[in-house]
Structure 1
Amino acid sequence: MRPSAQGAPEAEAAQVRVPAQPRAVDVDRAENVDRAGGVDRARARGTGDPVATARGEHTHGEPAPPRPRPLVQRSSVRGQILDALRTALVTGELRPGEVYSGPALGERFGVSATPVREAMQQLALEGAVEVVPNRGFRVVERGDRELAELAEVRALIEVPVWLRLARTVPAERWAQLRPLAEAAVRAASAGCPAAYAEADRAFHRAVLALAGNDQLVHIAGDLHRRAQWPPAGTPAARGRADLIADAHEHTALLDALIAGDQDLVRTLVGEHFTGAR
């Protein structure tokens, strides 16, 4: 990837890859069902084009012609690029302060600039980048103060929920979260910041989901994601030892929750959200 500003150094975006996510068929089917209920049932009965059937058109049983799916494909590409850009933010490949243009990023990904711009607009809504008119998108530069503020807000939101859940959720339900905690340990041991960031969010999301409050899960997840972006002037990504230590806090918390040790849970939760990232 290359910043669009003249004279700016070329960003090291060649390593950013769009992950393969061959789910277009599933997306297409879900989209058809949402827009014209009963579509798949119509297909199973052999009544022709399911979309036409849903509209009440008579198809005489003839085979339906292949339907173009540009919107599905574009949505899929946009999602893949968004995932790749989020990974690049966590690893530091998208560098704070640098400006990146849609066409330059699209060339790197082998796609048009449109899905790249759409993905970047989503990142702008999340606070990761800001729009630079006629140039592209600048990765937001964040300092230690912003990270500290995010950690404080996360603690204010999540810690009371964790402590309440510790008193009300049975041990067997906590034990069901063990695979997520172990997945985070494996990702940390592999030394992959992006994989660990996703596993970390998945574990916290599953814990908060026990509260039964979707808004809580959404807001806390957004704060968590923002807290994972490295600030300007620091190493691009957290080191392996740091990731492993953080991951083992999850397993220690689960052990205490399963054992019903409220005092230990209170201590561990407080430590986990001190400078959380």
Structure 2
Amino acid sequence: MTPCAVKVPSSPKEAPVQQAGPQGAHGSPETRAPASHPGAVRVPPQATAADVDRAWGPGVSGPTARGTAGTGVPADGARGEHTHSEQPIPLPRAAQSRPAQARPVVQRSSVRGQILDALRAALVGGELAPGEVYSAPALGDRFGVSATPVREAMQQLAMEGAVEVVPNRGFRVVERGARELAELAEIRALLELPVLLRLARTMPAERWTELRPLAEATAHAASTGCRATYAETDRAFHRAVLSLAGNTQLVRIADDLHRRAQWPLVDTKADTSRSALMADAADHGTLLDALAAGDVSVVQSLVRNHVTGAH
């Protein structure tokens, strides 16, 4: 487990489905995390999924019953997940070191985005394990929020191909192999390489110097051994490099491919050690040198090798 990892509990595979009782869609009282749980993200009180459905009145299907339009995720795959026997999720170390009163309160409008970021970090860090099933109500309890923003975040991950819906249980992390990673690397090279070769010929050297702090940030993140932290700085560096081409759509598509390439494989033979992360980060400085010098042959070789061995 990496130093920055957030432990995310998986759903028991054989336990019966937990039906929503008087307490709402989160499960029975013994499965609810208390508001003062040290591992919870503090949020204002929110309506549960059951509260929303009740507000529509008897005999009327509320928004949670209909599912999420346009996502391809059925409502029955996102409701009724059981929550037994799951362990609390501790906050990241940086948050644990702050007193409770100093921790920022998550505003309702940003809950879904912050939960999505946390789940993506857990995915990259391997805490959302390939093949495991995770229930939205249980994760919501552990994060200190209702199941709704967790479910919405998981549905976003389902659209991205990171997880798949398991009816009446939750979401299973997709099991990926080396072939998918190789295909992503090929697509990234096809998109990014022509752009970087053009920039190497046309962009003045001082523009590449401006990106040095971002390359140094990746080296610092790699030195911590935290895969999730490194993944964020790595993508930030590549976004900044590609943004010099002035093509917003290219940056968005390339960043999505890069994020997907960072998800863990089922057969984790790839070296994800601290030294491997530092070697990957060192490529960023070398790439900036080659771009500033206009050395297209070195740029071409570096880019192909870098995206193939992306961490």
Max Rg structure: 1
The amino acid that maps onto 1:215 is Q
> In the alignment, is residue 135 of structure 1 matched against residue 143 of structure 2?
no
Q: Shift of the alpha carbon at 1:262? A: 2.8
Task: State the distance in 2 between where 1:22 and 1:158 align.
Answer: 38
Could you list the structure 1 runs, at least 4 aligned residues long, displaced by more than 4 angstroms after superposition.
7-13, 15-24
**Residues 90 and 237 of structure 1 are in contact (CA less than 8 Å); yes or no, is this contact kept in structure 2?**
no
Residue 104 (str. 1) matches residue 138 (str. 2): yes
Give, in angstroms, the shift of residue 7 of structure 1: 5.2
- Matched AA of 2:122: A
| 2:235 is the alignment partner of 1:168 | no
TM-score w.r.t. structure 1 length?
Answer: 0.76
Matched, 1:124 2:167: no
Query: How many aligned positions are there?
Result: 229
- 1:3 to 2:37 alignment: no
- Aligned counterpart, 2:72: none
Aligned partner of 1:255: which letter? Answer: D
Greater shift after overlay, 4-13 or 257-266?
A: 4-13
The aligned counterpart of 1:230 is 264
**Cα shift at 1:268:** 2.0
CA contact (8 A) 1:19 1:80 kept: no
Task: Provide closer, same or farther for how the CA distance between residues 207 and 252 of structure 1 changes in structure 2, counting only shifts above 3 A.
Answer: same
Q: 1:237 to 1:3 in 2, by over 3 A?
A: farther
**Cα drift, residue 3 of structure 1:** 1.2
Q: Secondary structure at the match of 2:164?
A: strand
**Aligned-pair RMSD on alpha carbons?**
2.5
CA change 1:197–1:212 in 2 (3 A) is same
Quick check: 1:155 aligned with 2:197? no
What is the distance in 1 between the residues matched to 2:189 and 2:150? 34
1:6, distance to aligned residue in structure 2 (A): 2.3
Summarize the Cα distance change of 1:118–1:112 in structure 2 as closer, same or farther, 3 Å threshold. same
Q: Select which of 89, 95, 112 maps to 1:14.
A: 89
**1:7-46 CA-partner distances (Å, limit 9, x unpaired):** 599777734659879597xxxxxxxxxxxxxxxxxxxxxx
Whether the 8 Å CA contact 1:181–1:247 is kept in 2: the answer is yes
Larger CA deviation: 73-82 vs 193-202: 73-82
Amino acid at match of 2:225: G
CA distance in 2, matches of 1:14, 1:81: 13
Alignment of 1:4-43 (within 5 A): 4-6=12-14, 14-15=89-90, 17=92, 22=104
Alignment partner of 1:134: what SS? coil
Counterpart in the other structure of 1:51: none
Residue 57 of structure 1: aligned partner: none
Provide closer, same or farther for how the CA distance between residues 207 and 234 of structure 1 changes in structure 2, counting only shifts above 3 A: same
1:1-277 mapped onto 2 (5 Å cutoff): 1-6=9-14, 14-15=89-90, 17=92, 22=104, 73-234=107-268, 238-277=272-311
Code of the aligned partner of 1:228: Q
Consecutive unaligned residues in structure 2, runs of 5 or more: 1-8, 17-83, 96-102
Distance 1:236 1:156 in 2: 23
Structure 1 counterpart SS, 2:131: coil
Deviations 1:87-137 (A, max 9, x none): 100111111111111111011111110111011111111111111111111
Q: CA deviation at 1:198?
A: 0.3
8 Å CA contact 1:17–1:109 kept in 2: the answer is no
Structure 1: gaps spanning 5 or more residues: 25-72
Task: Give the Cα–Cα distance (whole angstroms) in 2 for the partners of residues 108 and 173 of structure 1.
Answer: 45
Residues 212, 219 of structure 1: alpha-carbon distance in 2 compared, 3 angstrom cutoff = same
Other structure's SS at 2:308 match: coil
